[in-house]
Structure 1
Amino acid sequence: MSTLAPVQRLRLLRELERKVLWLSAWTIHHANHIRPNRDGLKVGGHQASCASLATVLSALYFSVLRPEDRIAVKPHASPVFHAIQYLFGHQTREKLERFRALGGAQSYPSRTKDVDDVDFSTGSVGLGVAMTLFSSIVQDYVRLKNLGDGKRPTGRMVALVGDAELDEGNIFEALLEGWKHDVRNLWWVIDYNRQSLDGVVNDRLFGRVAEMFELVGWRVVTLKYGKLLETSFTQPDGAHLREWIDACPNSLYSALVFKGGAGWREALTRDLNQYPGIRRILEQHDDASLHRLMTNLAGNDMQAVVDAFEGVNDDTPTCFIAYTIKGQGLPFAGHKDNHSGLMTLDQMAGFKKGMGIEDGQEWDKFAGLTSAPADLQAFLDAAPFNAEGRRRTEAPVVAIPAQLTKPNDKKSSTQEGFGKILNAIASEDGELARHIVTTSPDVTVSTNLGAWVNRRGLFGHTEAEDVFRELKVVSAQLWRQTPKGQHVELGIAENNLFIQLAAMGLSHQLFGARLLPIGTLYDPFIARGLDALNYACYQDSRFMLVATPSGVTLAPEGGAHQSIHTPLIGMGQPGLVSYEPAYVDELAVLMRHGFEYMQQENGGSIYLRLSTRSLAQPERTLTPDQQSDIVSGGYWYAPPEEGADVAIVAMGAVTPEAVAAHESIARDFGGAGLLVLTSPDRLHTDWLAAQRNRGRTAGLVDRSMSPIERLLAPLSRDARIVTVMDGHPLALSWLGSVRGQRVVPLGIEKFGQSGDIPDLYRTYGLDSAAIIDAVARAV
């Protein structure tokens, strides 16, 4: 780029900006008006939202960004992103022709479903924006520990933000967390087109945006007026024109954009005709050129955009407020209803003619442009962002020990066991310990991460001693903050936790360094951050989620802190396999499996639902087969006799009640079995997969039974199965479909309340008496 004269570079950038606008609009038009529509549904695609960002995205991708930079594109600007990647050679015409169709370019940029170089999936507004902030924290974490190859330059995390996205609360939660962690190398570019889905953005609200960013230490760069307007302001009475535009309400400005030159002339004549300089400006412009002048906002002016971006050369987080016009260059620019509007056939014909595109040239990379194709291609090839081709990095797999050291307490809760297992890993200081990073939303101690943090420390850019320690105040927590620390302490915001985990779990592909993230929180508050959890899994991020305590077993805390439907969340969430171990030895097996599963090509994230209830631990040494069964989802604690008519199936903290009930019914129902499940999620998934395989062509598939089919095979076809868990009974009631056996499911279907465990188990039908009664009713 440096070899080009500034004038030549600007000319080529404007040419490519023009092509990006055309390709994005044509891609959407083709999907809605040319491709056959079999179901009659509007395909959509947001032509107006694309148009407002064509300048900014062209400047970033073709001139400003470097290979180490990472970018989250505003969801509704997805076609612009795909158009740019098409010009780079990372997207195909076939996929653009199938935009929003099966196998085509995705509605919103997707790391896992698009072929082009997507850094961050976007779609659920606000989450991709916050993702860049937490990725910046992860980049610093990796850099300060010299993880990866150590040669990678520090990149900028960039987000293209729709102004209406700033209504999303998670963005402001992230801003506060970023301030706490001294976030750096972060750019947010706000597409201030003053329009949302249903109307025009409120003037008063956005007037405070710059102040909010400055309050948390950001630099704010406002791109308001383009070069044409700036020049007009220097003319006689030009200051009055500036004042008029500054005072113009968003709704009026948008309406005048849609009305065009005649509308501008009428408004300016009405309000500013007393100024000779303004009358002269109006006389110098016909309607077309007056419209071009009055819509010359900086966010749609290539020179202004490039100057603003190139003017920032440090690592201070920066918010660019780019004034743009929604639908700029399109027939419905400025109209308040243009968000999901589509150009008509006639409008597209006029737009196509104006772009200089001949029939049959719609997908040609340089059709309609005045510069030589060779010059344009050379410019694209030299773009710094594209210099290395695809930029997704790799990192070696971290070796996991054959066994994790587990505590030998005779009585323990799974939450206590988790803390001790992690502490043992920390004390060994091996490769596994060095790649683990933990994070928690202000519940570090109460989720048993304290010992880990004492050994591995808090992460921060700068070193800060624990004041209590300095003043010799006795405390069990040695909270020393250093760049070497391996725990990222967050405030109480579950959205932030899950987006932080999402960023950590993609570190190997974003920054070339493998992390094994563990996030802890209270199980009932998974629901608070569920959108962000889904977002993390959608990106195929890899992490271990430890949710504890859980269920009404958290007895004194009452219904607000007792989780009911989280087992269903674990089962229903793609990209996440859920487990609920009853005993600590099971937990040690599952944690080891989780560290491996997080790194497998076809793996994913893992959710461990733990408990604070202290249980007597079984005296046993698990065989390899038993460990395999625990990972697969369940094992016979007390195997049934062949053809047994009764079985109890239990999971998690209520397992002792199931054991007691089994001992009681064994006297009346000889041969009854007790099945302990660790993962109905895993069992259900494998069962469905086996069912699907059996439906394929004979002789080409594995017809072996799934784990749950093998587990239930010893029971008679008429066996009665009583299931019990501290959660919604639906998570286990599907077991009756496996072999057509009758199931009586016990669990929690109502909000909990305060009490002790015996009272609550009795009240909600989880105690041994309820299990025995259910067996009797099933007979």
Structure 2
Amino acid sequence: MADGAKRQESAAGGAPARVADRIGLLRELEKKVLWLSSWTVHNANNIRENPDGIKVGGHQASCASLNTLMTALYFDVLRPEDRVAVKPHASPVFHAIQYLLGQQDVEKLKAFRGYGGAQSYPSRTKDTDDVDFSTGSVGLGVAVTSFASLVQDYVQLKGWLGERPAGRMVALVGDAELDEGNIYECLLEGWKHDVRNVWWIIDYNRQSLDSVVTDRLFGQIDRLFDTMGWDVVTLKYGKKLQAAFEKPGGEALREWIDACPNSLYSALVFKGGAAWRSHLEADLLDVPGVRDLLARYDDAQLHDLMTNLAGHDMEVVLETLHGLEGDRPKCIIAYTIKGHGLPFAGHKDNHAGIMNDEQMAEFRRRHRVPEGAEWDRFAGLEAPAEDIQALLSDVPFAARGRRRFKAERVAVPQSLPCPSGERMSTQEGFGKILAELARADDDLARRIVTTSPDVTVSTNLAGWVNRRGIWSRHRRADTFRDEKVVSAHQWGMSPDGQHLELGIAENNLFTLLAAAGLSHELFGERLLPVATLYDPFILRGLDALNYACYQNARFMLVATPSGISLAPEGGAHQSVGTPLIGMSQDGLAAFEPAFVDELAAIMGWGFDYLQRDGSGDPGSDWLRDVEGGSVYLRLSTRPVEQPRREMTAELKSAVISGGYWLREPAPGAELAIVYTGAVAPQAIAAYESLLEEVPGAGLLAITSADRLNAGWGAAEKARQTGAGTAPSAVEELLAPLAADASLVTVLDGHPATLSWLGSVRGHRVEGLGVEHFGQSGALSDLHRHYRIDEEAILDACAAALVARRCGLAR
């Protein structure tokens, strides 16, 4: 067990007085939690009916390594304002603790990893117990605690928390999670923002999924966190080992453990007392005092001694956690054993291991749980049930019951200011809309918080920031202004600011959105987060974006520039598949407007959509409109001529629904051009060139392929189940066309984004779009090369008309 820890860092000073009987009761609960978590997994895999015949899974060994720490935290250390991200593989421990606290139903435990049961990994949206942060994508649950603390600082320094104390954002971290790069991106950003009130408790069991963790990792972790401004606290040895070290020969024993390779230590944990004795005698018997020291213990006692790590010693854990002081972030490295207390403890293959029936029978005997009492909350415990219940009733963390807040909604005006101008890009329009909102002294402007990964200026957020400032825990001088250096950007930095500037790390951006988009439930204060980034770099943070949506976080994601329209930048800064991501990402309503008046309507609707919670009348019976979600705007830097029109209520509704006829088709029309986003100019030009030959053709503007597709899917499902007969918006849009009409679809993105339209009413589709990485060049050259220019649209129209008139079918 190398890693060179030469000191016991568990802090005993400052801890409140702990009565012996309370610690005894917590140890009883520790045993009960281990039993329940192990039995939950066993029941799911070995007892419950399994019609599929596939392994259900669970992680008994990973649960056991965190069992003591989680018992101490939830039953004694945590307060209601604290928020916890649980190590994903310790989910059964969490559910067991919630069950003992009366916040989880036993039927959910019995159905663990089954339909309607407790989830494989803690989920805010799918579990019924008190989950603070969903976890499951390794490393992201760790990072979100740091950004949640940043968000807590934001709302607290605005004075919105009132007298409520700041909570600690706690992550329970598997040591193998530290291989995830997003954790180190997060650490650096936290250092920049002087993050506070964060605890990362590392379950240092020295095993990953496939192997034993590299020796000396501890030293690297220690130095890294210290460099980032964290207090590093190491829990290595339990009370029994500490006492043994004080005896003659004890220092040699300690040095042997410190130098023991992780792989050997794990192997000896699995083999047991005799193996420990054999190695210790071979290496240390000549050291004075060691012979007598070893003679004090039989094999079982020696094994108990050598596995007495601090992460499994309730007294040490409580002394340490209660002794932590100050709001500097804390990295607590807790030495543990993977599978502690289970028959495969220490074995390098135990990650997915599950006790067989014979092993479970012995485990049952040791825990004194009678047949038929497996789910009983107090079965097998030596302490009186009334004493255990008294402690559970007095747990600080659960003193207020459910800890999720409900914040007031922010009023959104009927319409947002729409910038005027003959030619404008949607990116420019977005910047002007936000800058105009920044002028107002209303709740909407106060609750918007913007963020960007070092592309604030190039995504047109500068106007907003000039008026609203950059947020910082501390006031910082604008040196360029003080030195009278002329700059268009007057960016003061203070707690009054409303823009969180990030480094170039999209994982950090989306993880911050996960935290900021939950502020109304975590901290009782609603924020309306608006984030900008370059559209192609959505892919760089896609896991974290999915994670934010899985949390049901609420935010507006503004991705710009998109497509190949930023032509000279080349393929590295051009996006192809992001419209498909927008369509497929659950919890995200994706839009790609062509005109600024459309964008203003969408943004106004979007700020309301972010706040919906299933209550009230959203004006639609579509589930997503009732429940709300986040919004993705795919914008462009291409200036286009703006239409001169009034944004009527009817037009606004169509824009939000996903599409409208820019040019109405004649009844029974044989052709329509369908476009989305920045290709509007060539679509309009092609349409006008086509009118002489096909006078009844239509021009269909798609503002949201996602909304149209989802609405169509919802209508189809309703009809299939007999729950409805009403047509969807896209079915009504395409109804005027002839049954055998053709659609020519075009966008600056993958053609599959719109090609599905042919399935709605059986129309033939000629799909144009971009399918390959872009290259540098003038916009006209790239449009011609990728065949999304006017000529390509007309060629597609001609091919469609020939096919139709010749009776050809797809």
User: What TM-score, normalized to structure 1?
Assistant: 0.99
Asked if residue 605 in structure 1 is aligned to residue 618 in structure 2, the reply is: no
* Alignment partner, residue 746 of structure 2: 724
Q: Deviations over 1:480-519 (max 9, x none)?
A: 1000100000000000000001100000000000000001
TM-fit CA distance, 1:204: 3.1
Query: In 2, distance between residues paired with 1:5 and 1:411?
Result: 72
1:188 partner SS: strand
* Alignment partner, residue 184 of structure 1: 196
Query: In 2, distance between residues paired with 1:140 and 1:121?
Result: 21
TM-fit CA distance, 1:5: 5.3
TM-fit CA distance, 1:207: 2.5
Partners of 1:651 and 1:725 within 8 A in 2 = yes
Query: In 2, distance between residues paired with 1:429 and 1:408?
Result: 22
* Alignment partner, residue 245 of structure 1: 257
* Alignment partner, residue 12 of structure 2: none
* Alignment partner, residue 676 of structure 2: 651
Query: In 2, distance between residues paired with 1:177 and 1:716?
Result: 57
Asked if residue 634 in structure 1 is aligned to residue 692 in structure 2, the reply is: no
TM-fit CA distance, 1:247: 0.2
TM-fit CA distance, 1:702: 3.2
Partners of 2:731 and 2:760 within 8 A in 1 = yes
Query: In 2, distance between residues paired with 1:254 and 1:606?
Result: 48
Partners of 2:474 and 2:494 within 8 A in 1 = yes
Asked if residue 669 in structure 1 is aligned to residue 694 in structure 2, the reply is: yes
* Alignment partner, residue 517 of structure 1: 529
Residue in structure 2 matching 1:323, options 310, 332, 335: 335
Q: Deviations over 1:193-246 (max 9, x none)?
A: 000000100013342111000000000000000000000000012100000000
* Alignment partner, residue 246 of structure 2: 234
Query: In 2, distance between residues paired with 1:759 and 1:227?
Result: 74
Asked if residue 678 in structure 1 is aligned to residue 708 in structure 2, the reply is: no
Query: In 2, distance between residues paired with 1:457 and 1:4?
Result: 47
| Paired residues for 1:205-220 under 5 Å | 205-220=217-232
TM-fit CA distance, 1:262: 0.5
* Alignment partner, residue 808 of structure 2: none
| Paired residues for 1:421-500 under 5 Å | 421-500=433-512
Query: In 2, distance between residues paired with 1:392 and 1:734?
Result: 41
Partners of 1:67 and 1:386 within 8 A in 2 = yes
2:216 partner SS: helix
* Alignment partner, residue 766 of structure 2: 744
TM-fit CA distance, 1:4: 8.5
TM-fit CA distance, 1:94: 0.4
1:645 partner SS: strand
* Alignment partner, residue 110 of structure 2: 97
TM-fit CA distance, 1:3: 11
Q: Which amino acid aligns with 2:279?
A: A
TM-fit CA distance, 1:8: 1.2
1:225 partner SS: coil
TM-fit CA distance, 1:580: 0.2
Query: In 1, distance between residues paired with 2:703 and 2:490?
Result: 34
Q: Which amino acid aligns with 1:41?
A: I
* Alignment partner, residue 755 of structure 1: 777
- Gapped runs of 5+ residues in structure 1? none
Q: Which amino acid aligns with 2:118?
A: A
TM-fit CA distance, 1:151: 2.8
| Paired residues for 1:313-462 under 5 Å | 313-462=325-474
* Alignment partner, residue 73 of structure 1: 86
Query: In 2, distance between residues paired with 1:13 and 1:25?
Result: 18
1:420–1:3: structure 2 CA closer, same or farther, 3 Å change rule? Answer: closer
Query: In 1, distance between residues paired with 2:739 and 2:160?
Result: 56
TM-fit CA distance, 1:47: 0.3
Q: Which amino acid aligns with 1:165?
A: E
Partners of 1:465 and 1:479 within 8 A in 2 = no
TM-fit CA distance, 1:479: 1.4
Query: In 1, distance between residues paired with 2:142 and 2:479?
Result: 34
Query: In 2, distance between residues paired with 1:23 and 1:276?
Result: 45
Residue in structure 2 matching 1:564, options 576, 592, 609: 576
Q: Deviations over 1:103-129 (max 9, x none)?
A: 000000000000000000000000000
Residue in structure 2 matching 1:583, options 595, 611, 614: 595
| Paired residues for 1:112-261 under 5 Å | 112-147=125-160, 150-261=162-273
Residue in structure 2 matching 1:13, options 26, 39, 64: 26
1:208 partner SS: helix
Partners of 1:144 and 1:483 within 8 A in 2 = yes
Q: Which amino acid aligns with 2:594?
A: A
1:716 partner SS: strand
* Alignment partner, residue 26 of structure 1: 39
2:275 partner SS: helix
Residue in structure 2 matching 1:85, options 91, 98, 111: 98
Q: Deviations over 1:79-109 (max 9, x none)?
A: 0000000000010110100000000000000
1:683 partner SS: helix
TM-fit CA distance, 1:696: 2.1
Asked if residue 776 in structure 1 is aligned to residue 801 in structure 2, the reply is: no
Residue in structure 2 matching 1:708, options 722, 730, 743: 730
Asked if residue 623 in structure 1 is aligned to residue 635 in structure 2, the reply is: no
Q: Deviations over 1:260-280 (max 9, x none)?
A: 000101010100111242111
TM-fit CA distance, 1:465: 1.5
Partners of 2:78 and 2:396 within 8 A in 1 = yes
Query: In 2, distance between residues paired with 1:777 and 1:77?
Result: 59
Asked if residue 45 in structure 1 is aligned to residue 58 in structure 2, the reply is: yes
Q: Which amino acid aligns with 1:526?
A: I
Q: Which amino acid aligns with 1:641?
A: A
TM-fit CA distance, 1:314: 1.0
Aligned Cα RMSD in Å? 0.9
1:34–1:4: structure 2 CA closer, same or farther, 3 Å change rule? Answer: farther
User: What TM-score, normalized to structure 2?
Assistant: 0.95
Q: Which amino acid aligns with 1:222?
A: T
Number of equivalenced pairs: 774
Q: Deviations over 1:283-339 (max 9, x none)?
A: 111111100000000001001111110111210100000000000000000000000
2:725 partner SS: coil
Tell me which moved more, 753-762 or 722-731: 753-762
Query: In 1, distance between residues paired with 2:134 and 2:612?
Result: 21
Query: In 2, distance between residues paired with 1:721 and 1:313?
Result: 67
TM-fit CA distance, 1:695: 1.3
Q: Which amino acid aligns with 2:198?
A: L
* Alignment partner, residue 120 of structure 2: 107
Q: Which amino acid aligns with 2:745?
A: T
Partners of 1:199 and 1:337 within 8 A in 2 = yes
Q: Which amino acid aligns with 2:231?
A: R
Q: Which amino acid aligns with 2:159?
A: N
1:648 partner SS: strand
Q: Which amino acid aligns with 1:270?
A: A
Q: Which amino acid aligns with 2:487?
A: S
Return structure 1 stretches of 4+ with deviation > 2 angstroms: 2-5, 204-207
Query: In 2, distance between residues paired with 1:351 and 1:666?
Result: 81
* Alignment partner, residue 735 of structure 1: 757
Query: In 1, distance between residues paired with 2:427 and 2:58?
Result: 47
Query: In 2, distance between residues paired with 1:692 and 1:359?
Result: 46
Partners of 2:16 and 2:322 within 8 A in 1 = no
Query: In 2, distance between residues paired with 1:509 and 1:104?
Result: 23
Q: Which amino acid aligns with 2:308?
A: N
Query: In 2, distance between residues paired with 1:365 and 1:766?
Result: 66
Query: In 1, distance between residues paired with 2:351 and 2:414?
Result: 55
Query: In 2, distance between residues paired with 1:15 and 1:764?
Result: 69
Partners of 2:145 and 2:198 within 8 A in 1 = yes
Query: In 2, distance between residues paired with 1:83 and 1:466?
Result: 52
